[in-house]
């Protein structure tokens, strides 16, 4: 099979999973009306598949900041952070992240994906080891591959398995980076951070926590899982993204290790890409301020997600173990998931469809992402619709 035929075979396999040419992936959103509503085809839908956890995409503060930055600094930096792409705003945002996490330093990357790629490949290299949760996000896997380090996986959220593998490393622990996530994106479950930290402190290693889905969501001031469980000082490096609670695009890494700064000189995903645009940086700075003051937004978010989680659980859906903004209905077959996804869209609700191998353990997911801007009426309507569809599709 030549290279193009291999792509044809992959396309055929995808079509077999998605009969009727249903375009579940990359669906065109024709117009966006608000943080919770958009038009898909001729339907006005509730957006229940975005990572806009604090619902800030249309906040006047973020929009105003972005407008002002475009007017003052233009549409793009047209260069790398390393060359001409570090404006005042990029450096200010780094200081603001360092202040937020009470850390010595922070680095801003162009995407959350690159924050993981750049941090991991800057910290470890050939001959070193990365010990990662088996359900890690692709950006973590890709960062590990880029680094050339040996990759060892432990069973998802299983500290005993992590401990076993760390113990086996012996003296190699000194050059081992352990990686976990605050909230896992597929099932919305949280890492057992206290156990992970205990094991790391007993055996050694450096710990990186990706707070992509937990920033703004967990903890009194929204720092993430580190704040919820009071372990900020025990984690060596925290990465995260601007594309979820901060409602723009970009990524960061913060640390108290002064060596973090050195990544700017060795990390290809930092050096060989253009820096975020001035408007992106300005709206992210405004969003970070709102996030820090946003306990009311977190309360609304948690009111919404606990309500929908409870309703879906009562109905009989199999869900991830932790209530939170990511609520995944776990279904046995891709056909069931596809039917559920299509039926929800016919009821004007947009969610994410996740089919194997992207979903854990060969299952398929219909994944909802709840946000602070969803109204009680929208949450009730979604819960009622899931309940109605359960009897026709599942039971």
Ligand X SMILES: Cc1ncc(COP(=O)(O)O)c(C=O)c1O
Interface residue list for ligand X (CB under 6 A): 111-113, 116, 137, 139, 181, 185, 210, 212-213, 241, 243, 251
> Which residues 6+ apart lie within 8 Å of 104 measured at CB?
98, 255, 256, 257, 258, 260
CB 33 within 8 A of CB 39: yes
Minimum gap (Å) between residue 132 Cβ and ligand X: 12
Nearer to ligand X, 236 or 315 (CB): 236
Which among 386, 370, 384, 387 is positioned nearest to 36, based on CA atoms?
370
Which among 139, 56, 54 is positioned nearest to 325, based on CA atoms?
54
Minimum gap (Å) between residue 167 Cβ and ligand X: 27
For the chain, where are the alpha helices, taking DSSP H only?
Answer: 3-17, 60-73, 88-100, 112-123, 138-147, 159-168, 193-203, 225-228, 263-266, 268-271, 278-292, 295-315, 334-346, 376-389
Minimum gap (Å) between residue 185 Cβ and ligand X: 4
Nearer to ligand X, 38 or 115 (CB): 115
Q: How far apart are CA 363 and CA 358, in angstroms?
A: 9
What's the Cα-to-Cα distance from 395 to each of 51, 264, 339, 391, rounded to whole Å?
30, 54, 14, 5
Minimum gap (Å) between residue 42 Cβ and ligand X: 29
Minimum gap (Å) between residue 12 Cβ and ligand X: 27
Minimum gap (Å) between residue 24 Cβ and ligand X: 17
Nearer to ligand X, 81 or 213 (CB): 213
Nearer to ligand X, 113 or 309 (CB): 113
> Residue 154: in which H helix or E strand, if any?
strand 150-154
Nearer to ligand X, 235 or 389 (CB): 235
Nearer to ligand X, 53 or 100 (CB): 53
Nearer to ligand X, 136 or 300 (CB): 136
Give the residue nearest to ligand X (CB).
112
> What count of other Cβ atoms lies within 10 Å of the Cβ of residue 358?
11
Token representation of residue 371: 């946000």
Minimum gap (Å) between residue 15 Cβ and ligand X: 25
Nearer to ligand X, 247 or 382 (CB): 247
Minimum gap (Å) between residue 116 Cβ and ligand X: 6
Q: How far apart are CA 111 and CA 248, in angstroms?
A: 10
Q: How far apart are CA 275 and CA 146, in angstroms?
A: 20
CB 46 within 8 A of CB 286: no
- Which of helix, strand or coil describes residue 17? helix
């Amino acid at each position: 099979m030549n290279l193009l035929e291999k792509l044809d075979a992959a396309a055929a396999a995808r079509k077999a999973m998605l009969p009727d040419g249903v375009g579940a992936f990359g669906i065109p959103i024709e117009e966006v009306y608000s943080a919770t509503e958009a038009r898909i085809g001729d339907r006005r839908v509730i957006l229940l598949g975005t990572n806009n956890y604090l619902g800030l995409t249309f906040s006047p503060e973020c929009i105003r900041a972005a407008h002002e930055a475009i007017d003052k600094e233009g549409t793009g930096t047209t260069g790398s952070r390393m060359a001409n792409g570090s404006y005042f705003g990029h450096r200010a945002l780094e200081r603001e992240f360092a202040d937020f996490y009470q850390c010595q330093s922070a680095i801003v990357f162009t995407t959350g994906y690159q924050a993981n790629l750049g941090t991991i490949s800057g910290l470890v290299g050939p001959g070193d080891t990365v010990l990662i949760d088996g359900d890690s996000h692709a950006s973590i896997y890709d960062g590990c591959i880029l680094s050339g380090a040996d990759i060892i996986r432990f069973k998802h959220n299983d500290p005993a398995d992590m401990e076993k593998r760390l113990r086996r490393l012996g003296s190699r622990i000194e050059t081992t980076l352990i990686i976990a996530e605050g909230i896992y994106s597929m099932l919305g479950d949280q890492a057992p951070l206290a156990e992970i930290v205990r094991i790391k402190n007993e055996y050694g290693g450096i710990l990186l926590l990706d707070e992509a889905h937990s920033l703004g969501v967990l903890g009194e001031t929204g720092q993430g899982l580190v704040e919820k469980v009071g372990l900020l000082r025990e984690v060596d490096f925290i990465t995260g993204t601007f594309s979820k609670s901060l409602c723009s695009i970009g990524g960061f890494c913060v640390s108290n290790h002064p060596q973090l700064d050195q990544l700017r000189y060795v990390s290809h995903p930092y050096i060989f890409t253009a820096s975020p645009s001035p408007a992106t940086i300005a709206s992210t700075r405004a969003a970070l301020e709102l996030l820090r003051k946003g306990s009311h937004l977190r309360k609304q978010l948690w009111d919404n997600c606990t309500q929908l989680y409870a309703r879906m659980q009562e109905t009989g859906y199999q869900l991830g173990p932790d209530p939170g903004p990511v609520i995944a209905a776990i279904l046995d077959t891709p056909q069931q998931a596809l039917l559920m996804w299509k039926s929800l869209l016919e009821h004007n609700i947009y969610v994410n469809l996740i089919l194997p191998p992207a979903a854990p353990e060969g299952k398929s997911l219909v994944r909802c992402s709840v946000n602070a801007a969803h109204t009680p009426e929208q949450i009730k309507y979604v819960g009622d619709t899931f309940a109605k569809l359960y009897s026709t599709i599942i039971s």
